[in-house]
Amino acid sequence: DAKTTQPTSMDCAEGRAANLPCNHSTISGNEYVYWYRQIHSQGPQYIIHGLKNNETNEMASLIITEDRKSSTLILPHATLRDTAVYYCIVRAAPNAGGTSYGKLTFGQGTILTVHP
């Protein structure tokens, strides 16, 4: 699975949009970009994933550049409860087969702190 690079920490004011960047310059054509977050002491929580098109769900939006070498997770109206470590993970699609299925490779992630 491709390696990702994220800033160590970011701050955001409550109510503003939080934009979390991720570089994945070695991503392969069959690899997806996944975002998980981990609120203090809890298990990681899935946020969103995408292949090449921008994606949006009830939690966030994911913007992937045309060359797929980087992406941005957007929390449109950050709240104090969004304070967490955010992990950007690149992995092969489930139908790619092989032993990568089911495994997530976590890096250090970005510590997002939302301020009142």
Partner 1 sequence: NAGVTQTPKFQVLKTGQSMTLQCAQDMNHEYMSWYRQDPGMGLRLIHYSVGAGITDQGEVPNGYNVSRSTTEDFPLRLLSAAPSQTSVYFCASNSRAYSGTSGTDTQYFGPGTRLTVL
Can you give the binding site for partner 1, defined by CB under 8 A?
32, 36, 41-46, 49, 51, 87, 93-95, 99, 101-109
Nearest to 11 by CA among 107, 95, 100, 86: 86
Task: Report, in Å, the least distance between residue 25 CB and partner 1.
Answer: 19
Task: Report, in Å, the least distance between residue 43 CB and partner 1.
Answer: 3
Nearer to partner 1, 95 or 116 (CB): 95
**How long a stretch of residues is the chain?**
116
Nearer to partner 1, 26 or 105 (CB): 105
Task: Report, in Å, the least distance between residue 116 CB and partner 1.
Answer: 25
DSSP 20-85: EEEE-TT--TTEEEEEEEE-TTSPPEEEEEESSS-EE-SS-EEEE-TTSSEEEEEETT--GGG-EE
Nearer to partner 1, 21 or 107 (CB): 107
